[in-house]
Amino acid sequence: MSQKHSLKWLLIDCSQQRLMLMSGSKIRRIFPVATASAGLGERVDSKKTPRGWHAIAEKHGDDCPSNAVFVGRRWTQELYSQELDNKNPERDWILTRILWLQGMEPGNNQGKGCDSYTRYIYIHGAPEAKVNRGRSTQGCINLTTPAMRILYKLVEVGTPVHIAESVRQNDFHILLEKAHQVQDKFHQPVEQ
């Protein structure tokens, strides 16, 4: 199989609240997710999930245990539990692992007023009940802890990520071409 047809990338279908791990134009894994309760949008402070092409810019949490609680991408030494949740009902739980996304579309999800990276848009672990509710985040994409641990091992920095309102299987080949362009763009050296 050619490298072109085996590219690993992520496709997030917000209408179905699911993340698909793609290999070329084939679905390899599907994970339920939760996206923003405020809907989709790219503006800073919107608390919406940004659409479009992204790449995984950073990974955090390699050696942390399941349900490790993160603040500022650092483990607080806390482990999430229902008791901890009950004591802190307003906390936005970032658990287990973090994939920090960088927008790859200038003026849409990259740059002034809309930058996914400076908005701290992550794919991260969250309490199962929150993921099961769907549309319940402040902009990030949430997975359960078991799903997050699996996904984290299967992707690397530079992996293309497409966040779409909805997806049709007929679009997979077109999206695959764009995923290759995003990966190439991410790995290009920055001109000084």
Summarised one tens digit per residue, pLDDT across range 148-172 is 999 999 999 999 999 999 999 889 9
Residue 189: pLDDT over 90 = no
- Mean pLDDT to the nearest integer, 21-49: 97
Separation between Cα atoms, residue 37 and residue 168, nearest integer Å: 23
pLDDT at 6: 86
Q: What is the second-level CATH architecture of the domain 4-187?
A: Beta Barrel (2.40)
Residue 3: pLDDT over 80 = no
Taking the alpha carbons of 189, 63, 159, 40 in that order, is the dihedral positive or negative?
A: negative
pTM score, two decimals?
A: 0.94
56 and 159 Cβ atoms separated by less than 8 Å? yes
Q: Alpha-carbon Rg of the chain, whole angstroms?
A: 16
Q: Name the more confident of 190 and 10.
A: 10
Percent residues over pLDDT 70 in the chain: 95
pLDDT at 118: 97
Separation between Cα atoms, residue 70 and residue 160, nearest integer Å: 24
Average predicted confidence (pLDDT) for the chain? 94
- What are the residue ranges spanned by the domains of the chain? 4-187
User: Around Cβ 69, how many Cβ atoms within 10 Å?
Assistant: 21
162 and 9 Cβ atoms separated by less than 8 Å? yes
Half-sphere exposure of 154 (CA within 13 A, CB side): 18
